[in-house]
Amino acid sequence: MTPWFALLAALLAVSGDEASLTTLDGQTISGVVSAWDGTELTIDAADGDQKLATDAIMDVAWKREPSAGPTLRVAELVDGSRLAFEEFTIAKRTATFQLPGQQAKVEVPTARIKRIELVAASEPLAKMLAEIEQKQPAGDSLVIVKGEAMDYLSGVVEDVTAQQADFRWDGEKVPVKLSKIAAIVFYHAKEAALPEALCRVSFTNGSVVVARQAQLEKQQLQLKSLGGVDVEFPFDQVARIDFSSGKIAYLSDLKPATSRWTPRVALPADAKLIASFGAPRQNVAFDGSQLSLLWDDDPVPARRDVRTYSRGLAVRSRTEQTYLVPEGMTRFAVTAGIDPATAGQGNVALEIRGDDRILWEGTIDGGGPPVEIDVELQAARRLQLVVDYGDNLDYGDRLHLIEARFIK
């Protein structure tokens, strides 16, 4: 990297343009994203430019503060994209949105819109939207504000201006003030058939686009959503690009095919409440706190390196769990360690099997650092995790399996 470019990269990093890129095999690269043609991304790192295929990337993230917009309005598309907008109109079954901080407007056929939320999220609104989704009325729905409460009407939404919505209800055309509408939910006779996603792009203004195509041109990110909607954003508004869709499956998001915890002391057959005491927990520790690992112990509590995590399993000895391997997944990875609260006593034997073939086995001890495990599944269709007693029987045997996941 030339000296002048190194200086430029440093200045961009200070302004928030430096990104952290994580590859599918767990490597982290920091630098400035300088090019992206959809299938290949270039990042200018300290040791030179690196080009990576998007198939090999997990995500790219920037430390950018959310922009304070004047509105909390959001349009959700049928493909899962969400567009934050300031103003909108509908004419001839096509919605036109004015996005925050942009001159260009986005046109979206209402056939590709799931709903338009005109007010901030709230419990009454969530309740109405859930009721509409459950009952699936054969028509468009308006969620109407009635004092402190909300209700909804089903019919046909026609044109919408900045002041009112023309709504056909019971054969009559009824104008409804926009100030009285909390949300518009569009009727779709069947779910749209969607292609595979390339990535999920999150923006500082709150928008999220699930994209099938992407192109970076002159610091403008051009995207085509799964539903075929074309949008364009300034690249400096991108907060995160998530490429993990279809490439990774977390055990905490999957239901095990079998799961059995065997206490050291046999329990009566009717002791269901006690039996559930040792059952594995998803994304939470056994005491209800956040999952965590102790990476470096110290007699001074303030100097202990305890890190918390949002995904994983908490498992006691002796537990056996079996998971079906999702199609296309070739590896299993996890970081295993004892709950810091019981690290002084915890010691377990961990065994990972693929179709009854041992892929990894070893001891996880609270007195040592966590163990990072990454194994090839080969042709295995079932993954079995066995957590057994270690040197201290079941004392302190609270194993945390952090980000336990299948990888494509």
Q: Are residues 300 and 330 in the same domain?
A: yes
User: Which DSSP letter does residue 228 get?
Assistant: S
* pLDDT at res. 5: 40
Q: Are residues 349 and 286 in the same domain?
A: yes
Residue 361 lies in a domain: yes
Residue 238 lies in a domain: no
* pLDDT at res. 315: 95
pLDDT digits (tens, 9 = 90+) for 54-83: 988 989 999 988 875 555 699 999 999 999
* pLDDT at res. 270: 56
Place of tokens 């993230």: 61
Identity of the residue numbered 5: F
Q: Are residues 147 and 172 in the same domain?
A: yes
Q: Is the pLDDT of residue 9 over 60?
A: no
Q: Are residues 56 and 132 in the same domain?
A: no
Q: Is the pLDDT of residue 104 over 90?
A: no
The H-assigned helical ranges of 162-291 are 272-275
Strand duo 248-250 + 347-354: pairing? unpaired
Residue 219 lies in a domain: no
Quote the domain boundaries for residue 42.
Answer: 3-62
Q: Is the pLDDT of residue 11 over 50?
A: no
pLDDT band at 6 (very low <50, low <70, confident <90, very high): very low
Q: Are residues 267 and 398 in the same domain?
A: yes
Domain count, the chain: 3
**CA distances for 75 relative to 67, 96, 389, angstroms:** 18, 11, 52
pLDDT digits (tens, 9 = 90+) for 220-257: 999 999 999 999 999 999 999 999 888 889 999 999 99
**CATH code of residue 42:** 2.30.30.100
Q: Is the pLDDT of residue 3 over 50?
A: no
pTM, full prediction: 0.72
Q: Are residues 342 and 282 in the same domain?
A: yes
Residue 214 lies in a domain: no
Please, what's the b/e burial string for 262-287 (b: 16 or more CB within 10 A of its CB; e: otherwise)?
eeeeeeeeeeeeeeeebebbeeebbe
pLDDT digits (tens, 9 = 90+) for 344-393: 888 999 999 999 899 999 999 998 999 999 999 999 999 999 999 888 77
Which value, in Å, is the radius of gyration of the alpha carbons in the chain? Answer: 26
Q: Are residues 392 and 257 in the same domain?
A: yes
Q: Is the pLDDT of residue 339 over 90?
A: yes
Q: Are residues 46 and 80 in the same domain?
A: no
Q: What is the mean pLDDT of residues 96-109?
A: 90
Contacts of 267 (CB under 8 A, 6+ apart): 274, 275
| CA gap 104, 44 in Å, rounded | 30
* pLDDT at res. 231: 95
Q: Are residues 32 and 80 in the same domain?
A: no
The H-assigned helical ranges of 283-403 are none
pLDDT digits (tens, 9 = 90+) for 260-289: 998 876 655 555 555 567 789 999 999 899
Q: Are residues 44 and 77 in the same domain?
A: no
* pLDDT at res. 2: 43
Nearest by Cα to 237 from 10, 16, 8: 16
Q: Is the pLDDT of residue 17 over 90?
A: no
Q: What is the mean pLDDT of residues 301-309?
A: 84
**CATH code of residue 320:** 2.60.120.1060
Residue 129 lies in a domain: yes
Percent of the chain exceeding pLDDT 70 equals 91
* pLDDT at res. 392: 73
State the chain's mean pLDDT as an integer.
88
pLDDT band at 8 (very low <50, low <70, confident <90, very high): very low
pLDDT digits (tens, 9 = 90+) for 372-383: 999 999 999 999
Q: Are residues 269 and 355 in the same domain?
A: yes
Residue 96 lies in a domain: yes
Q: Are residues 271 and 384 in the same domain?
A: yes
DSSP strands (E only) in 198-338: 199-203, 208-217, 220-225, 230-234, 238-242, 248-250, 258-261, 281-282, 291-296, 305-309, 312-316, 319-324, 331-338
Q: What is the mean pLDDT of residues 86-93?
A: 95
Percent of the chain exceeding pLDDT 90 equals 65
